[in-house]
Structure 1
Amino acid sequence: KSHFLISRQVLIDKSLKGWKEVEYEVVRDAYDNCITVCNMENLDPLGIHTGESIVVAPSQTLTNNEYNLLRSVAIKTVRHLGVIGECNIQYALSPDSRQYYIIEVNARLSRSSALASKATGYPLAYVAAKLALGRPLPELRNSVTTATTACFEPSLDYVVVKIPRWDLSKFTHVSTEIGSSMKSVGEVMAVGRKFEEALQKALRMVNESCLGFDPKFLQLRKEDLNHPTDKRIFTVAAALDSGYSIDELYQLTRIDKWFLYKMKNIIDCNNMLGKHDQQTLNKEMLLYSKQLGFSDRQIARSINSTELAIRGLRKSLSVTPSIKQIDTVAAEYPAHTNYLYLTYNGETNDLDFPGGAIMVLGSGVYRIGSSVEFDSCAVGCIRELRKLGKKTIMVNYNPETVSTDYDECERLYFDELSFETVMDVYDLEQPEGLILSMGGQLPNNIAMPLYHQKVRILGTSPEMIDSAENRYKFSRLLDTIGVQQPRWKELTQIESANEFCESVGYPCLVRPSYVLSGAAMNVAYSNHDLKLYLNDAVAVSKDHPVVISKYIQDAKEIDVDSVACDGVIVAMAISEHVENAGVHSGDATLVLPAQDL
């Protein structure tokens, strides 16, 4: 009824909750040349911020008339506003008619622009910079094809799925519901030839402990279907597996039925796999499941086998992925691009493999504890290798990073950082070696599996990485070389853990192995705390030991960062924490050089 004026006017809009949300990325030059670079469709209905939504490019459920109507309106609007450069326009589209509304126009590059740029291979920021300097679109070359101009609208022969990453579990008493305010800390982008394939890839990229569109990942809670949370996609999987009909789920979620039917394909395939074992799984069923995006681990769980056994079966049956290019022109024109992805929905590779390059693994999705610092490391590494005359291969899947710019390296594989995918690329490319240390925790986690397959790791050996990451081996190592550490014990049973804590005196620190940024690491002040925290630690570090150590209170915390060659330090920096030990170094204020030593 009234307007509250502080420094700006507040607008109250009609709610269109439940409608489809569609986006177009548009570029226009100073001479009124205008094209739409990419259109994207939110899988989640209106009411959930696009940064919180699962987004699919190109749109899958729009009719040809709807697509061209919204494209025409986008160009008309951008011309009327006089935009020069890049622009993002968002629509609400009625699921029952051709009625639409413009929600907003961002006359700048946005998070969606980074996604659109990587999804199409069209360098939006580069082109927008040229347009700002007054260059016309027809004069700019498409740097991917080199055969067409930047005035040529990209055409996609693949599908891209973006899924946000939330880290809400790091906070206590926080609401996990998602809505019009953005909570996500990062996002992933997966590329495939089928929606199902790209969706399952993306879900594994967001969370490496997830197998894909897994009905067993989360317990079904009906209220999560109509009150969306950060894990609603897994609730949908559980609901489909429990027998919910497509119509029921549409009414509860307002996710378009086309997407729900595709998701049901995955659940049906999972149930079919469950009827097989290692002996009865034939080539047709194996290939079908791989075409729907099932990983070797996922198939192994369904048939009570192991990932390596499924890998061996795949290779014996010649079920291997094809390497395809992202070329912006759907292979209609020649393209000179090394922007690549793996798919089982293809029969040939788009390029040859000369071998001899250096392969670098990126860090994957941004999350709390892993952000642009690893991207900087990976890019610095790639650039230095190229200065040394080495050919380079990057594997990463974060659309927001420089390391996934296709012109930073000789070959960019925009795909998973899993053991399976890295081995598939390694087998095809036959590189000189593999660098793990630039990508943070995710590459370290697959160091030993890669080592066991005779992959040549450059830098620190995987055995030594394991000695540092495995809490039990590390604690035992310190005892062996006579380096002081708090008293410690490996967790075997809850009773012995209680006895240890009571003998050394609380508080005690629960420490899982192979984790980033203190995940599931907690200080226990009582037996009740200990039992609570041990469950979390074992769940996070289920394949590795959990160690309990005496927690030292009121201690100064010091960081030493060093560069070493063959175990000899050649450069170092000593930083001092302002806060006492107990505040994670990523959350602490650091002073360099140390002031009180």
Structure 2
Amino acid sequence: MKTPGGSILVLGSGPIRIGQAAEFDYSGSQACRALKEMGYHVILLNSNPATIQTDTAMADVVYIRPLEAEVVERILTTHRPSGVIATLGGQVALNLCVELHRRGLWERFGVEVLGTSPRSVQRSEGREDFRQAMLGISEPVIQSIYVDNVERALQFASVSSFPFIIRPDYTLGGTGGGVAFDPDSLTERVTEGLRLSPVSRVLVERYLQGWREIELEVIRDGAGNRLCVCGMENVDPMGIHTGDSIVVAPVLTLS
């Protein structure tokens, strides 16, 4: 944003659940505070009243309404904010931001998407987009196929080998995903994943059961400065969801 004093819309994360945890409430609250200190008029949209950020002291205007495109359009019409922050609202806010981008609402109302752009969100959240981005920089990727129907998944399985992990597009926390060890479970998992994916697509990928899971938390600013905040390692191998495991920092088994 160029000059403080305009209005900024902050998209909250909605209900707290697995994959949409309380850290989004904390980060969104800090964003509201920082924006107000910088002189911006802060508008908050969140469907969950049981949060810190929906306290009237956090934002100048608080909407406790569904996180839906029609609600955002009414807010844009009423308040005409100059910018929007969606990256602190988890998967719900990111999906909503991308949907509004596709509809052309941000452009129509002259709203600048602050932070990660909708295109970057699509590249990181869309499994195939991310896969192609990795191939473009010569990073190895697991054998996989993108499907929008069960038949293609079964065809892929016939020329590869079980087990497979099913990863629906635009979901978080393992929602709609799972492991398939045979054609029957593959059919079941893909059907469920297609139902829960907002874009009805899933990635069928070779399952790396038993591999170590290492995570690096990295931040980068607009000038290209990069900082690795920390490295973390799951105590359990891949195959155990992070939410059911323990993560330690720093990484213990890499030299």
What's the TM-score, normalizing by structure 2?
Answer: 0.90
Quick check: 1:387 aligned with 2:37?
yes
**1:411 shift after superposition:** 1.2
Quick check: 1:419 aligned with 2:69?
yes
Which among 363, 366, 378 is matched to residue 28 of structure 2? 378
- Check whether the contact 1:472–1:545 (CA below 8 A) recurs between aligned residues: no
d(CA) in 1 for partners of 2:133, 2:152: 22
Which among 526, 530, 534 is matched to residue 186 of structure 2? 530
d(CA) in 2 for partners of 1:429, 1:410: 12
What residue number does 1:505 align with? 161
- Check whether the contact 2:180–2:189 (CA below 8 A) recurs between aligned residues: yes
What residue number does 1:457 align with? 113
State the Cα deviation string for residues 472-522 of structure 1 (Å, max 9, x = none). Answer: 211222222211121110114433312322323111111101112110111
Cα pair distance change 1:516/1:586, threshold 3 Å: same
d(CA) in 2 for partners of 1:394, 1:488: 40
Percent identity between matched residues is: 30
- Check whether the contact 1:391–1:410 (CA below 8 A) recurs between aligned residues: yes
**1:594 shift after superposition:** 1.0
What residue number does 1:557 align with? 213
Moved over 3 A (4+): none
Cα pair distance change 1:395/1:554, threshold 3 Å: same
Quick check: 1:581 aligned with 2:238?
yes
d(CA) in 2 for partners of 1:447, 1:467: 14
d(CA) in 2 for partners of 1:469, 1:430: 28
Give the 3-state SS of the residue equivalent to 1:586 in structure 2.
helix
- Check whether the contact 1:416–1:422 (CA below 8 A) recurs between aligned residues: no
Quick check: 1:365 aligned with 2:22?
no
Give the 3-state SS of the residue equivalent to 1:538 in structure 2.
helix
State the Cα deviation string for residues 107-135 of structure 1 (Å, max 9, x = none). Answer: xxxxxxxxxxxxxxxxxxxxxxxxxxxxx
- Check whether the contact 1:501–1:550 (CA below 8 A) recurs between aligned residues: no
Which among 472, 493, 514 is matched to residue 170 of structure 2? 514
Q: Which amino acid aligns with 1:413?
A: Y
d(CA) in 2 for partners of 1:592, 1:509: 27
Cα pair distance change 1:399/1:496, threshold 3 Å: closer
Quick check: 1:479 aligned with 2:135?
yes
Structure 2: gaps of 5 or more residues: none
d(CA) in 2 for partners of 1:557, 1:540: 26
**1:388 shift after superposition:** 1.9
Larger Rg: 1
**Which structure's relative contact order is higher, taking Cα pairs within 8 Å and 6+ residues apart?**
2
- Check whether the contact 1:491–1:497 (CA below 8 A) recurs between aligned residues: yes
State the Cα deviation string for residues 292-333 of structure 1 (Å, max 9, x = none). Answer: xxxxxxxxxxxxxxxxxxxxxxxxxxxxxxxxxxxxxxxxxx
**1:571 shift after superposition:** 4.1
Q: Which amino acid aligns with 2:54?
A: T
- Check whether the contact 2:36–2:42 (CA below 8 A) recurs between aligned residues: yes
Structure 1: gaps of 5 or more residues: 1-354
d(CA) in 2 for partners of 1:588, 1:434: 35
Give the 3-state SS of the residue equivalent to 1:400 in structure 2.
coil
State the Cα deviation string for residues 558-594 of structure 1 (Å, max 9, x = none). Answer: 1222221135423421110000012222222000111
**1:412 shift after superposition:** 0.9
What residue number does 1:398 align with? 48
- Check whether the contact 1:470–1:545 (CA below 8 A) recurs between aligned residues: no
Aligned length: 243
Give the 3-state SS of the residue equivalent to 2:243 in structure 1.
coil
Cα pair distance change 1:397/1:448, threshold 3 Å: closer
Quick check: 1:447 aligned with 2:97?
yes
**1:425 shift after superposition:** 0.4
State the Cα deviation string for residues 57-96 of structure 1 (Å, max 9, x = none). Answer: xxxxxxxxxxxxxxxxxxxxxxxxxxxxxxxxxxxxxxxx
Q: Which amino acid aligns with 1:530?
A: L
**1:394 shift after superposition:** 1.0
Q: Which amino acid aligns with 1:472?
A: E
**1:544 shift after superposition:** 4.2
Q: Which amino acid aligns with 1:362?
A: G
What root-mean-square deviation, in Å, do the aligned CA atoms of Structure 1 and Structure 2 show? 1.6
Structural mapping, 1:244-323, within 5 Å: none
What residue number does 1:20 align with? none
What residue number does 1:539 align with? 195
d(CA) in 1 for partners of 2:60, 2:96: 24
Give the 3-state SS of the residue equivalent to 1:562 in structure 2.
strand
